[in-house]
């Protein structure tokens, strides 16, 4: 009886162990053949992009100062508002200057009367000299007096012009179109000519962005660029994700800076929307002129192994293979591969996060999405740019 029970127990244990092995085998098979998203690499014509940092500058910026000294009567602008050339901004008390003009006008009347008298005496002296009724010295004296009276009239008239300018300068007007800042000096305060800064104005129709390109990059990628060619650029303001502003290069300096080995370049951005402000930090992207075809993969497909970059490639047996690659430019969420992959390669698009080399997978075919990504300047949709070039 005992022998029978022992055999039965041994048989049951064998069945249980067999079931466990079968279950473990199935789980291992499922783990080795887990579904993984795979895709064929893209081949795209691309341009290398170069990124530079800058701060925006207004083409015209004025620190507004009075041309005459005086007291501010009233202020005629709204702080932070747009102003146009010739708009009245500050009005100084013009009465002292008007009084000077009136005084000079009176002096001119007196000086002209003296001039007419000297003119008449000079003519009479000439006639008397013809009859030898007056000495030559007296004739010359009266002619000299006439010239002096004429000079006095001219001097007073010039003083009137200057005084009338002072009256005009009492009305301080905007010298440019732009956006005005706050009033630094308010009504009732005295201002000093050429010293007191009343406010500041910056033009807002366009913005400049200066940046420096190193000599090697310029010679390799931009040697044929001129200001007349209007090389396109795109710009991103700090805090933004997209390069939403389009412009072009309109100035290239005439020399390489020997201290830094860089060339100063300027891009210009039209600003009809008034969203660009002078002093803003920005990033400029410039595309090299040469266009080449390169392999494009999702950036997340690239793994790192110490100092190496690699991608998991799917072979004909659905086994993942380790492939060393060299990484190129980034285009949105995609990345160019300069070596290590060829057209037609199938890769694990999500990289080595869940899998590794040598694993057999069940491929789930997907397509690499490249919609809306600009690989070349010609592929940029300029209708969506805030500031067009």
pLDDT tens by residue, 298-317? 999 999 988 899 999 999 99
Contacts of 170 (CB under 8 A, 6+ apart): 68, 70, 91, 92, 93, 94, 97
Q: Across all residues in the chain, what is the average pLDDT?
A: 86
State pLDDT tens for residues 26-85: 444 444 467 899 999 999 988 888 899 999 999 999 999 999 999 999 999 999 999 999
**Pick from 106-110, 150-154, 161-165, 291-295: least confident:** 291-295
Distances (CA, A) of 174 to 64, 66, 199: 8, 11, 10
**Distance, CA of 351 to CA of 304 (rounded, Å):** 10
- What share of residues in the chain are helix, strand, coil (percent, to 5)? 30, 35, 30
Say if residues 147 and 171 touch (Cβ distance below 8 Å). Answer: no
Say if residues 341 and 313 touch (Cβ distance below 8 Å). Answer: yes
Q: Residue 386: its pLDDT value, please?
A: 58
State pLDDT tens for residues 197-207: 999 999 988 99
Q: What percent of the chain has pLDDT over 90?
A: 56
Alpha helices in the chain (DSSP H): 2-32, 95-130, 136-169, 215-221
State pLDDT tens for residues 162-217: 999 999 999 999 999 999 999 999 999 999 999 999 999 999 889 999 999 999 99
Q: Residue 378: its pLDDT value, please?
A: 63
Buried b (16+ CB within 10 A) or exposed e, 72-89: bbebebeeeeebeeebeb
pTM for the structure as a whole: 0.68
Buried b (16+ CB within 10 A) or exposed e, 299-319: eebbbeeeeebbbbbbeeeee
Contacts of 205 (CB under 8 A, 6+ apart): 177, 270, 271, 272
Instruction: Say which residue the tokens 């800064």 belong to.
Output: 197
Q: Residue 388: its pLDDT value, please?
A: 47
Can you read off the two tokens belonging to residue 113? 């009367």
Parallel, antiparallel, or unpaired: how do β-strands 206-214 and 61-64 relate? unpaired
Q: Residue 275: its pLDDT value, please?
A: 85
Parallel, antiparallel, or unpaired: how do β-strands 362-365 and 171-173 relate? unpaired
């Amino acid at each position: 009886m005992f022998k029978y029970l022992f055999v039965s127990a041994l048989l049951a244990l064998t069945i249980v162990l067999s079931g466990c092995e079968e279950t473990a085998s199935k789980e291992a098979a499922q783990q080795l053949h887990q579904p993984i998203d795979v895709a064929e690499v893209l081949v795209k014509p691309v341009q290398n992009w170069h990124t530079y940092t800058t701060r925006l500058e207004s083409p015209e910026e004025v620190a507004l100062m009075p041309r005459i000294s005086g007291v501010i009567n009233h202020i005629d602008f709204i702080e932070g508002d747009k102003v146009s050339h010739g708009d009245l901004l500050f009005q100084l008390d013009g009465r002292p200057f008007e009084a000077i003009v009136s005084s000079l006008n009176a002096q001119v009347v007196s000086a002209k009367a003296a001039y007419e008298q000297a003119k008449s005496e000079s003519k009479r002296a000439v006639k008397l000299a013809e009859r030898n009724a007056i000495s030559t010295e007296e004739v010359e004296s009266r002619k000299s007096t006439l010239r002096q009276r004429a000079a006095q009239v001219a001097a007073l008239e010039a003083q009137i012009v200057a005084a009338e300018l002072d009256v005009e300068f009492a009305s301080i007007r905007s010298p440019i179109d732009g956006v005005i800042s706050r009033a630094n000096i308010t009504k009732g305060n005295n201002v000093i000519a050429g010293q007191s800064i009343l406010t500041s104005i910056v033009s807002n129709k366009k913005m400049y962005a200066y940046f420096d390109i190193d000599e090697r990059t310029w010679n390799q990628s931009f040697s044929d660029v001129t200001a007349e060619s209007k090389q396109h650029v795109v710009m991103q303001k700090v805090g933004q994700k997209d390069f939403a502003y389009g412009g072009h290069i309109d100035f290239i300096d005439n020399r390489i800076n020997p201290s830094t080995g860089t060339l100063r370049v300027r891009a210009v951005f039209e600003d009809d929307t008034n969203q660009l402000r002078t002093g803003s930090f920005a990033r400029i992207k410039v595309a090299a002129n040469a266009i080449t075809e390169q392999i494009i993969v999702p950036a997340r497909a690239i793994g790192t192994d110490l100092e190496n970059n690699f991608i998991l490639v799917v072979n004909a047996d659905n086994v993942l293979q380790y492939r060393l690659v060299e990484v190129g430019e980034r285009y949105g969420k995609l990345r160019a591969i300069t070596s290590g992959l060829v057209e037609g390669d199938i890769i694990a698009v999500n990289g080595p996060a869940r899998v590794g080399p040598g694993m057999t997978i069940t491929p789930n075919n997907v397509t690499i999405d490249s919609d809306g990504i600009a690989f070349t300047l010609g592929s940029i949709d300029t209708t969506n740019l805030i500031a067009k070039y």
